[in-house]
Structure 1
């Protein structure tokens, strides 16, 4: 296993922002990212549509970026500048180790 100083940046956004967000991340990072469709219930649920209220969860896009330490602030600042949206939520986690199995 390789050990290095990395962080995982998680972004959760409305699905209608997917193309703009992916395009922005493609320009900002060379490390790549993972995008998945998710559904959840949390802070800001008062903005949910009727269908989402009945289901009890909202549909979102989640993106995970593995970034070298120090790059997350730059990526977040640029995403905020290009896509200022109160329903884009983010958090940052340390990565203890990373590597490939082959």
Structure 2
């Protein structure tokens, strides 16, 4: 039976980058890997935005993506929650139908 994979996406304030990366790198057993990027959020919900972000019309965020076994998602979220419980971190999970590498 093949292992069910999920894509976990996390959005956090940019200033939390080092903490988020440290938490993810410290997990044991280790994660298969993850990708980070600086992104900008658009839309509603600017109540927590800085004055600069309100003027620009977008909120700066760190985005983290990872594909991992479905059973590992709760472990990752629990580790983040233990250190960043009140950080307004957002996350969502998507199914991964297939993945591979072209070589």
Distance verdict in 2 for CA 1:43–1:24, change over 3 Å = farther
Distance verdict in 2 for CA 1:43–1:80, change over 3 Å = farther
Deviates more, 1:23-32 or 1:61-70: 23-32
Instruction: Give secondary structure in 2 for the equivalent of 1:70.
Output: helix
Distance verdict in 2 for CA 1:86–1:23, change over 3 Å = closer
- Over the residues paired in the alignment, what is the CA RMSD in angstroms? 1.4
Unaligned runs of 5+ in 2: none
Instruction: Give secondary structure in 2 for the equivalent of 1:67.
Output: strand
Instruction: Give secondary structure in 2 for the equivalent of 1:79.
Output: helix
Distance, in Å, in 2 between the alignment partners of 1:4 and 1:101 is: 21
CA positional deviation for 1:5: 1.5
TM-score by length of 1: 0.90
On the 8 A contact 1:4/1:97 being kept in 2, the answer is no
Matched, 1:49 2:50: yes
CA positional deviation for 1:42: 4.2
On the 8 A contact 2:31/2:68 being kept in 1, the answer is no
Distance verdict in 2 for CA 1:25–1:47, change over 3 Å = same
Q: Extract structure 1 runs of 4+ deviating beyond 3 A.
A: none
TM-score by length of 2: 0.89
Deviates more, 1:85-94 or 1:56-65: 85-94
Aligned residues: 100
Unaligned runs of 5+ in 1: none
